[in-house]
Structure 1
Amino acid sequence: REGYGTIVGSGNAATTLHYVFNDQPCKDGDLLLIDAGAEYEYYTGDITRTWPVSGKFTPVQAKVYQGVLNLEKSLIDYVKPGVPFKSLQEKTVEYMTDMMIDLNLLKGTRQQLIDSLAYKKYYPHGVSHYLGMDVHDSGLHVINGEPRNLEAGMAFTIEPGLYIPADDESAPKELRGIGIRIEDNIVVTKTGSENLTASCPKEIAEMEALIGRA
Structure 2
Amino acid sequence: MTTPLRIDIVSDVMCPWCIIGYRQLTHALDATGTAHDIHWHPFELNPDMPHEGQNLREHVAEKYGATPEQSAQSRKHMTELGTELGIDFRYTDEMRMHNTFNAHQLLHWADQQDRKNDLKMALFTAHFTDQRDLSDTAVLASVAGEIGLDTAEAQAVLDDQRFASDVRQQQSFWVQQGISGVPAMIFNRQHLVTGAQGVDNYTNILTQLSKEAN
How high is the TM-score relative to the length of structure 2? 0.29
Q: Which of structures 1 and 2 has the larger relative contact order (alpha carbons within 8 angstroms, sep 6+)?
A: 2
Indicate the structure with greater helix content. 2
In the superposition, the TM-score normalised over structure 1's length comes to: 0.29
